[in-house]
Structure 1
Amino acid sequence: MKKLKIIFTCLSLFYLISACSKDELDLASPNALTIEQYWKTPDDAEKGVNSIYAMFYKDGLWARWIYFRLDLTSDEGFSQSPWTELADWARFKYVNYAFWEGNRVTWRDTYKAVFRANQVLAYVPDIEFADNTRKQQILAEAKFLRALHYYYAAILWENIPIVLEPSSPEDLPQQKSLEEVFAQIETDLNEAFADLPAQWDNANVGRPTKGAAKAMLAKMYMQQHKWQEAKSALEYLISGPGAIYSLVDNFEDNFRAENENNSESVFEIQFGDQRLGGTGEGANAAVSSNRAQFFAPRGIGWSDGQARYWLVNLFKEEPNMNGGIDERLKYSLFYPDSQADFGTLTYGRTWEWGAQEAWFKKGSRDYYRTNEDYYSQVNLRMVRYADILLRYAEVLNELDMTADAYQYVDMVRARSNMDLLATAHPEIGNDHDLFLERLKMERVLELCGESVRWEDLKRWGDLDNQTSVNKLIERDPDFVNFVIGKHDKLPIPNPDASNNPNLDQNPNY
């Protein structure tokens, strides 16, 4: 939210220094606000909720490392980083469970975000507002953001503590099952939906809407195979009161800094390049994405993450209506023949790559500069309408409504000038399994490199049996290291598992 006043206030500093044994030493720091001093005015509440959004810009979350977990660990990506331990965490070689960049920082930042949301939910109800609607919106934003962070924690670790009150360092929260985590996410999202607006004014674009809450509910229901509930949530966006979304004409508009927050965006993380600091809590802390810097081809960025070449081949399997290559490839991946296939596409860049190499392109700034850095201003379209349409098709197929599902896949294909699915793949018919297998590829063609593949693999059960894992190995040799019943979730970081008797390490670790 470039237009929001993001306040990087580390609310955890509001707590007093722990009491000493002598009363005369029990003093409040004159340089730190206490809970009693803060949470008095609506402006305090606004700063409090904005501090939750600020967590998007931290290393462990959407500024950098979470992409290594969601994109590179899936069969879409891998790492050849010279930093061996970093690369190993994309190869299911988890040795040091406290490895900061691979595990612990994402856990830490997730619970920092939850902590900030819990403060808003605990203290804002006691603040007097002249505008009670805005007060309820702030609480709804906090619930949505807490649910979002718990959702991705559930995707990554599954069995995690649920913390719903402002915490203290000495707390030992109870571990909960995945089902209990999803139940809390559902509660938060439904309560958020009630008080979120359908749309925001221009000054507040980037805050969650009712549609964003329904989209996250649909994702959560689908992971549990609650197909009827997912259908209802998705229909709010497709045919119900929230049907305000549409596909933009140009596929590439979803991955550039221009035309952000467009009709296809259901929820979008707002990045900017106006501050060039680090990812800490200082006044000059960056509000940008580091993804392009770490995923860029050699010579352009750090090149710690890249795409599997089978993606390129998939795009070339089926010609478009003009007999040419599916043009989504042009905007999805860098690969050796990209300029030969589509003409000159880059802004004076000199590429350094070998044959059969591919790199994620979405979010790259190759169309106007020759290098990447830590300050990409390109927003992350976390949920876009094309994803919603493909999810709806999947849900209909699971509810034995396969014939009705085709039209929603066709809407996505049509934008890229691809033929009707039934025409291109008549062998599918109304066969549930064949439709699902094709839909898996349709999601790759539309969404590859958008951090959805890992949750897709989990939802489809492709990580649950050796037959499916063997298919993944054909596309991604790193899956030879994958142990069923173990690597579908991350290990809980050692310091937390060791220091909290209420927290058990995940199975087989």
Structure 2
Amino acid sequence: MKKYIYTLLAGAMLAGASCDSQLELTNPNIPTTGTFWQTEADAVAAVNSIYNSLMIDGTYMRMFPSLMDGRGDDIQGDSPWPDLMLVANFTIPTTSGPVAWVWEAHYQMVWRANQVLGNVPDIDMNQDLKNRVLGQAYFLRGLAYFNLANFYKEVPLITTLPADRSEFYPSTASEEDIWNQIISDFTNAKANLPVNYQNVTGPDRGHVGRATSGAATGMLGKALVYRQRWAEAAVQFEELIAGQHGPYRLMENYRDNFDPRTENNAESLFEVQFATPEEVGGSELNWGGNPNANWTQVSAQAITYAARGYGFNDFLPTRALYNDFHLEATVDGRKDPRLLATIASFEPTENSTRLYNDEWPYGPDEIYPRKYTNDGFGPSVEPQFRSGINYRVLRYADILMLHAEALNELGRTQEAYGFIQQVRDRARLPNLATVKPGMNQAQMRDQIAHERFLEFAIEGQRINDLIRWGWFNDPQKVAFLRSRDAEFNTWTQGNQYMPIPQGELDNNPNLSPNSANN
């Protein structure tokens, strides 16, 4: 899959040829909207270009995960780069470059998806393939807006190509309209996508990594949870748990979810397909900008998160995260196995005293991120911006935990135990129904928050959970966060969201600053 869907297509991204009243120039080497959008191959190449937007710096290559993780109480900044530190302590200005990169990259995804959705219906091609192309465009646009809504709260909602210059300056949409569109896009994606691509007929046959009906169903359920539409969300999760969209299951080894050797496994509903130059070629780093056929497909997250002396060490796990992994021993009296898959720490009782290929080089109390680094998978020092570890956007463990949450909110608290326990069983933790029987709804909410904190640490999930649970509106919860991560001491109301980039506000008179952090 890595060799196919990330093919770059510069021509499909162009609006048209340049012209003025005296001279018209057309570059014969670059297709225009007038000459493209003719064939099945054009449709497939265009949808491939949307996937390419997933692996640049403003999306999953580096900056989006970094700016999501930095705002949680599982990670704290430890970087010489001011932007990363200011995001982590909730004081980032509107002029931040990285905050603008996230905006630009996600709207690139939206733009490319809108081109596919606007032009592919008119192409004479195999209908099943057309449905799959459209389904992927809906899914990727839904994912782009899901990220934008969680990152900025309120943004312009663009679903069609501009007819003329009057549509170049879209206004800020309401939060409700944005989320309705996200839910609509995932619903349309689900209706058009296959369970997998193993037996389809067409150039996408056999591809692994494309959006599927399972990915769309999972993201639809997740979006519904974020809007507290619990009953509707539970229906989506029940389909996945029943195997209607494929045989998803938890991997026996938790670390398989972050290992480049076990990508696209049975737990993965959707992941971004990174690869090293040795695997797929490329000579120029895929930071972003104008499409370039020589781009690599690498992730920069590994070197960004890697420990001091092995990478940039821009983030550290919080001591609260480390301590919470020690709140329960496993059924055989050992430490939670997710600890050492998530955090690099000196644990002689667990036979873990090495970092990369070296004996532990730090003090015994120092801790560093391990998840999404190449520690254990590669050379002694992170190669410069050369990680091929796929970013797991959605995994089956999240489906189980979200379903438990939906059931609890529906008053079916006792039913939630079993779905949480599936995740705990993988970590070899005791039966929750035995150690904490008969929890009420409020107690189960807190338990789910704890379970999610450990299962999804350093996966860009925590800040979204804190926001959607309303913790920033609860003085007791804010005090709790401040006790665990000093960066929350400089948080002020609304700044859990990122500001609308100043450059966008300057260029678009119809765009409003973020109402949350005015």
TM score, norm. by length of structure 2: 0.92
* Aligned with residue 333 of structure 1, among 318, 325, 343: 343
Which residue, 398, 403, 406 being the options, matches 1:395? 406
Write the mapping of 1:26-425 to structure 2, written as runs, cut at 5 A: 26-95=24-93, 97-101=94-98, 103-129=99-125, 131-167=126-162, 171-201=168-198, 203-239=206-242, 241-242=244-245, 244-274=247-277, 275-279=282-286, 280=288, 281-335=291-345, 337-349=346-358, 353=362, 356-367=365-376, 368-373=378-383, 374-425=385-436
- Contact kept, 8 Å, 2:5 with 2:51, in 1: the verdict is no
Give, as a single letter, the amino acid of the residue that structure 2 aligns with 1:198.
V
Secondary structure (helix, strand or coil) at the match of 1:306 reads strand
C-alpha separation between the residues in 2 aligned to 1:27 and 1:380? Answer: 42
Q: How far off is 1:10 after superposition? A: 3.0
User: CA 1:259–1:86 in 2, change beyond 3 Å: closer, same or farther?
Assistant: closer
Alignment correspondent of 1:475: 484
SS of 1:266's equivalent in the other structure is strand
Residues 441-456 of structure 1: pairs in structure 2 closer than 5 A: 441-456=450-465
Contact 2:70–2:87 (CA under 8 A) maintained in structure 1: no
Letter in 1 for 2:104: R
Where does the alignment leave 5 or more consecutive residues of structure 2 unmatched?
Answer: 199-204
Q: How far apart, in 2, do the equivalents of 1:155 and 1:342 lie?
A: 39
Q: Is the 8 A contact 1:3 1:205 kept in 2?
A: no
Alignment of 1:493 onto 2:501: yes
**1:13–1:32 Cα contact (<8 Å) kept:** no
- Per the alignment, in what secondary structure is the counterpart of residue 192 of structure 1? helix
Shift of 1:88: 1.3
- The one-letter code of the counterpart of 2:302 is A
Distance in 1 between residues matched to 2:452 and 2:9, nearest whole Å: 39
The DSSP-based 3-state class of the residue aligned with 2:473 is coil
Partner-residue secondary structure (3-state), 2:472: coil
Q: State the distance in 2 between where 1:347 and 1:307 align.
A: 18
Superposed CA RMSD: 1.9
- Report the alpha carbon displacement of residue 240 of structure 1 after superposing the two structures with TM: 5.6
Give the aligned length: 500
Shift in Å at residue 28 of structure 1?
Answer: 2.9
Pairwise CA distance, 1:17:
5.1
CA deviations 1:29-79 (Å, max 9, x no partner) are 444321111111111111100000001110111001001221111111111
- Per-residue CA shift, 1:279-305, capped at 9, x if unaligned? 142222121211111011100101112
In structure 2, do the counterparts of structure 1 residues 459 and 355 end up closer, same or farther at CA, with 3 Å as the change threshold?
Answer: farther
The CA deviation at 1:345 is 4.6
The Cα shift of 1:175 comes to 1.1
Secondary structure of the corresponding residue to residue 358 of structure 2: coil
**C-alpha displacement at 1:188, in angstroms?**
1.1
Could you tell me which runs of 5 or more consecutive residues in structure 1 were left unpaired when the two chains were aligned.
none
Amino acid at match of 1:33: P
2:213 and 2:245 in contact (8 A); partners too: yes
Give the residue type in structure 1 aligned to 2:452.
R
Residue aligned with 2:326, SS: helix
Q: Distance in 2 between matches of 1:145 and 1:85?
A: 27
Contact kept, 8 Å, 1:496 with 1:503, in 2: the verdict is: yes
Contact kept in structure 2, 1:265 and 1:384, CA below 8 Å = yes
| 1:465 Cα deviation after fit | 2.6
Question: What's the TM-score once normalised by structure 1's chain length?
Answer: 0.94
2:202 matched residue in structure 1: none
154-163 or 241-250: which moved more? 241-250
> Within 2, Cα distance between the matches of 1:60 and 1:312?
29
- Seen in structure 2, the aligned counterparts of structure 1 residues 476 and 347 have a Cα distance that, compared at 3 Å, is closer
Report percent identity of matched pairs: 34
Alpha-carbon contact 2:285-2:298 (below 8 Å) kept: no
> Which residue type is aligned with residue 482 of structure 1?
W
